[in-house]
Amino acid sequence: MNILIIGGGGREHTFAWKIAQSPKCNQLFVAPGNAGTAAIATNLPLAVNDFEGIKTAVIAQAIELVIVGPEDPLVHGIHDFFLADQQLKNIPVIGPQQSAAALEGSKEFAKAFMKRHNIPTAQYASFTPDTLEEGIAYLAQMTPPYVLKADGLAAGKGVLIIEDLAEAQHQLKAMLVDQKFGAASSKVVIEEFLSGIELSCFVLTDGKNHKTFPMAKDYKRIGEGDTGLNTGGMGAISPVPFADEAFLKKIDEQIVLPTVNGLHKDGLPYCGFIFIGLIKVGDRPMVIEYNVRMGDPETEVVLPRIKNDWVELMQATAAGRLNEVDLLVDPRSAVTVMLVSGGYPEAYEKGKEIQGLPTENESILFHAGTQLKDGKVMTSGGRVMAVTSFGEDFGDALKTSYATIANITFEGMNYRKDLGFDL
């Protein structure tokens, strides 16, 4: 079958790499893709929110399956757009419909969902410009640090964690009244601060059945020892050593099952990936957030460990037959190290030539912000490339990634050399 992947980062290159291995895939397209996907698929120069452009391409290329990578088109209703169109309605889309994508599109919606289904998460209350004074009073009776979250999508920047009460109250006003994060912060969720170690859980569901993927841990801060600014992710590891069998059982019973059943009970149509951001508080898993997509760079370590034919897995999901599938997982550890542009996550330069890319290697290179220009691979984003390797444990796998990275250069290249330091 002909398949279209929507998106253009490391996650989408990983999907493409996995799908290209399937004998069931005839022609593979990625919109917009990057230099990595260009080598194994056909890139289509379309923005992820250009639904009309995507429709034209789907018809022209006789696409039979669409896999949506990022949250933006899902929160904007791409699945609903397909269902409402006579020519597109029978083409399966992997990704939730808009009403269910609100799990990521609205923090308040996600919190209310968790409360309704008894899913462990931080205590919270939400406020609007009309209830600013109540919000200021609510903060005053909480214990620091204060967690303030813009309700809507804010490109990963909408969460503030603040020690000082007066500053938290000031920021609440800045979010609600001065629209610090635009319309996304016209509602703000204030929550209890949870202390613990975070991990990412990915679930594939067809709306009734589900498969839980292997756990992963990502490293979000730019600096070693988890210091400095937040990034889109500097690397990831799977499996997560502290997530032992007893802890995984708690995740399944207390979080994954109530989530999948809750979606079903609430009539929220969900055929796709659920990303559950977890935190281990004592020995208890709690939910920090939901995303309605796979994580990046977690995908770059989770997918290589899944041995199933990816097209078969997607077809079973679209057909509501996930109960008939056995998930086959590689027991080895996988790690990925993200190479980023100098200056990232603040202002950085792009358009640097990447040199020394190995053609054959023990690592797998997943491109994120890259672009082909006159046959050369150039940087085109902050996160440039994820270098994934396998090993008996994550330390072993890391050695292989770092050995591969030793050959690669571009002006300003930066990466973290301490992944797994906390495990």
CB of 101 to ligand GLY, least distance (A): 15
For position 147 contacting ligand AMP by CB under 6 A, the verdict is yes
Q: Please answer whether residues 89 and 82 qualify as being in contact, where contact means their C-beta atoms are separated by less than 8 angstroms.
A: yes
Q: With 0-12 CB in 10 A as exposed, 13-18 as middle and 19+ as buried, what is 53?
A: middle
Q: Please answer whether residues 30 and 93 qualify as being in contact, where contact means their C-beta atoms are separated by less than 8 angstroms.
A: no
Residue 228's contacts (CB-CB under 8 Å, 6 or more residues apart) are 221, 222
Q: What is the DSSP letter of 353?
A: B
Nearer of residues 1 and 197 to ligand GLY, judged by Cβ: 197
Nearer of residues 104 and 151 to ligand GLY, judged by Cβ: 104
- C-alpha dist (Å) from residue 259 to 107, 113, 122, 255, 301: 15, 9, 16, 6, 24
Residue 276 CA to residue 283 CA, distance in Å, equals 17
Q: Which of 103, 122, 148, 316 binds ligand AMP (CB under 6 A)?
A: 122
Residue 312 CA to residue 301 CA, distance in Å, equals 20
CB of 300 to ligand GLY, least distance (A): 10
* Residue 331 burial (CB count, 10 A): 8
Number of shown-chain residues binding ligand GLY (CB under 6 A): 6
Q: Are strands 333-340 and 284-291 parallel, antiparallel or unpaired?
A: unpaired
For position 218 contacting ligand GLY by CB under 6 A, the verdict is yes
Residue 135 CA to residue 307 CA, distance in Å, equals 49
CB of 230 to ligand AMP, least distance (A): 7
What are the φ and ψ backbone dihedral angles of 101, each rounded to 5 degrees?
-65, -15
Query: Which residue type, as a one-letter code, is found at position 9?
Result: G
Q: Which does 176 bind (CB under 5 to 8 A by kind): ligand AMP, ligand GLY, none?
A: none
Nearer of residues 80 and 296 to ligand GLY, judged by Cβ: 296
**Under rule CB under 6 A, which residues in 244-303 are in contact with ligand GLY?**
291, 295-296, 298
Residue 163's contacts (CB-CB under 8 Å, 6 or more residues apart) are 144, 145, 146
CB of 142 to ligand AMP, least distance (A): 11
CB of 37 to ligand AMP, least distance (A): 27
For position 216 contacting ligand AMP by CB under 6 A, the verdict is no
Q: Which of 12, 191, 296, 298 binds ligand AMP (CB under 6 A)?
A: 191
Q: Which does 191 bind (CB under 5 to 8 A by kind): ligand GLY, ligand AMP, none?
A: ligand AMP
For position 71 contacting ligand GLY by CB under 6 A, the verdict is no
Q: Which does 295 bind (CB under 5 to 8 A by kind): ligand GLY, ligand AMP, none?
A: ligand GLY
Q: Which does 194 bind (CB under 5 to 8 A by kind): ligand AMP, ligand GLY, none?
A: ligand AMP
Q: Please answer whether residues 11 and 71 qualify as being in contact, where contact means their C-beta atoms are separated by less than 8 angstroms.
A: no
Q: Which of 12, 71, 151, 289 binds ligand AMP (CB under 6 A)?
A: 289
Nearer of residues 88 and 150 to ligand AMP, judged by Cβ: 150
Q: Which does 233 bind (CB under 5 to 8 A by kind): ligand GLY, ligand AMP, none?
A: ligand GLY
Residue 272's contacts (CB-CB under 8 Å, 6 or more residues apart) are 68, 74, 94, 95, 96, 204, 205, 292, 293, 317
For position 277 contacting ligand AMP by CB under 6 A, the verdict is yes
- Binding residues for ligand AMP (CB under 6 A): 122, 147, 159, 191, 193-194, 198, 277, 288-289
Binding-site ranges for ligand GLY (CB under 6 A): 218, 233, 291, 295-296, 298
